[in-house]
Amino acid sequence: MNPLILPVKALKKIAEAHGYTATLIALVEKVNDAQKLVIAQKITNRFGEDLTGKTFGVWGLAYKPETNDMREAPAIYVIQNLVQKGAKIKVYDPKAMTEAREHYLKGIENITYCNSKYEVLENSNALLLLTEWKEFRSPDFEQIKAQLVTPIIFDGRNQYIAYDLEDKGIEYIRIGK
């Protein structure tokens, strides 16, 4: 990491350590934290507050692709929020499965760790794309539609905008809209 580009939380701690109240940085941190739950809120808007009996398939746990780093990853917050509302979660990530199981999602019930992206879909009510891994870029949308209980994709990365999913019979809910 470039030492001149520090995460917001680090900047806030540095400011506090020097006795400075970094109001703008605190506001940025608050916005960043709220942003992590936007997909969870969209799911609640679509399915209701009580998610008992619902299963959601998650593609991507890591903070960003090509790493197993889950520190501050939106997936942690989304999964915790949905489980608290009664949902079951099925997850797949190319590199972060062990990190999730042993650290970041440890002890959270109702999570199933799957061996492939398509296994996640089986009997899930919707697919949540939370990390933009290369292997998720061009999926088989017909297979997604066939395997999901309700063909809905919640795209937390706006990765599928160009695919005209509504024309393929898939409800498409994305960030920023």
Residue 1 confidence (pLDDT): 44
Q: Three-state SS for 138?
A: coil
Contact 84, 92 (CB under 8 A): no
pLDDT band at 140 (very low <50, low <70, confident <90, very high): very high
d(CA 40, CA 84): 11
115 phi, psi to nearest 5 deg:
-90, -10
- What proportion of the chain, given as a percentage, has pLDDT over 70? 89
pLDDT tens, 151-162? 999 999 999 999
58 phi, psi to nearest 5 deg:
-115, 125
Average pLDDT score over residue span 45-64: 97
d(CA 65, CA 157): 11
Say which range, 11-15, 27-31, 160-164, has the weakest mean pLDDT.
27-31
Q: What token pair was written down for 113? A: 């760790």
d(CA 122, CA 41): 23
Helices (H), 18-66: 23-35, 38-47
Q: Which domains are delineated in the chain?
A: 1-35 (no CATH), 37-174 (3.40.50.720)
pTM value?
0.85
Radius of gyration of the chain (CA): 17
74 pLDDT higher than 60: yes
Q: What token pair was written down for 69? A: 């780093």
More confident residue, 23 or 86: 86
HSE, CB side, 13 Å, CA atoms: give it for residue 20: 10
pLDDT tens, 99-134? 999 999 999 999 999 999 999 999 999 999 999 999
